[in-house]
Amino acid sequence: MSIISYVNGSYVDHKDAKVNIEDRGYQFADGVYEVFAVINKQIVDYDGHINRLFRSLNEISLNSPIVKEAYIFHIRNLIRKNNIHDGLIYLQVSRGVAQRDFKFPTKIKPSLVITAKSISMENYYSKFKQGIKVKITDDLRWKRVDIKTLNLLPPVLAKQKAVENGCEEAWMIDSDGYITEGSSSNAWILIRDKLITTPATNSILKGITRTSLIRALKRKNIKLIEKRFNKKDIKNANEAFITSATQFVMPVIKVDGYKIGNGKVGKYAHMFKDAYMEAIQLK
Ligand code: PDD
């Protein structure tokens, strides 16, 4: 079965899905994106992701090429056309096609691309049982990482460094020595029974998975502290995690070669993953 993607108003065979080489997404990373998980043919936390997309668009003064209500229609079409049971939807809006010039061109239509792929929840659960290893890298990003822009070179370099060091994720550290977040996830540590995550300022992307987990933990009376943490705090942690639309809740068992707790997936990881899975909104 061929894969179907959405490009600027048409559903096309993925092999034929193309954008112009003068698209400003390609030339300048001038655009924003979202990643939605699909579980059981339904979109996970749709409202959170679509609202964040519109916030990102607004922050870079880009108009949506379609009305807000139309996005779910196209996403659902792709889920159906690609027969996705569990999967990921990638959606990107760029400023559109124009001759290369830094300032905003006038009278161009933004480009919209949506793609879908299947994932295996069994792979997720088996990765969860193993946990992942994290490498600490410098946070080389700009000052507005709260906007989900296409400008991803620093996280690409961070993730590559992690992989070259036998790790699955990078935790980026700022010039004050604090962890901001993962290259494509939010970062959490647990010290005794206190869960700590970086506050949602301009220095991190306010993850939709992060918001859902916080909502879930409130119901379970878990003590959450939104504050910055450093390498010393990581050494005192008994458990650690990342969250994202692609990894859900994923335990971290080693940071820079240092074992978290006993180096195995802990009981809170299971509790948080279960609480998160119960709290997600499916649409
Ligand atoms: N990344 N922080 C960063 C820098 C991210 O890129 C992401 C997500 C998150 C988690 O956000 P959410 O829970 O809304 O997925 C935090 C996506 C998955 C990606 O770029 O593939």
Q: What is the pLDDT along the chain (283 residues), one digit of tens a residue?
A: 789 999 999 999 999 999 999 999 999 999 999 999 999 999 999 999 999 999 999 999 999 999 999 999 999 999 999 999 999 999 999 999 999 999 999 999 999 999 999 999 999 999 999 999 999 999 999 999 999 999 999 999 999 999 999 999 999 999 999 999 999 999 999 999 899 999 999 999 999 999 999 999 998 888 999 999 999 999 999 999 999 999 999 999 999 999 999 999 999 999 999 999 999 999 9
CB–CB of 37/140 below 8 Å?
no
- The tokens describing 163, both together, are 């992989």
Q: What is the pLDDT of residue 220?
A: 85
Looking at the CA of residue 145, tell me the nearest atom of ligand 1.
4
CB–CB of 7/19 below 8 Å?
yes
In angstroms, the CA 34 to CA 41 distance is 18
Is the CB of 56 inside a 6 Å radius of any atom of ligand 1?
A: no
- Residue nearest atom 5 in ligand 1 by C-alpha distance: 184
For the question of residue 103 being annotated catalytic, the response is no
Record: fold of 4-119: D-amino Acid Aminotransferase; Chain A, domain 1 (3.30.470)
Domains 4-119 and 125-279 share a fold: no
Please give the backbone phi and psi of residue 2, each rounded to the nearest 5 degrees, phi first. Answer: -80, 155
Q: What is the pLDDT of residue 219?
A: 84
Domain ranges of the chain: 4-119, 125-279
Pairing of strands 194-197, 223-226: parallel
* Secondary structure of 171-237 as H, E, C letters: EEECCCCEEEEECCCEEEEEECCEEEECCCCCCCCCCHHHHHHHHHHHHCCCEEEECCEEHHHHHHC
Pocket test for ligand 1, best of 32, 33, 34, 35 (most atoms within 8 A of CB): 35
Is the CB of 94 inside a 6 Å radius of any atom of ligand 1?
A: no
Record: fold of 125-279: D-amino Acid Aminotransferase; Chain A, domain 2 (3.20.10)
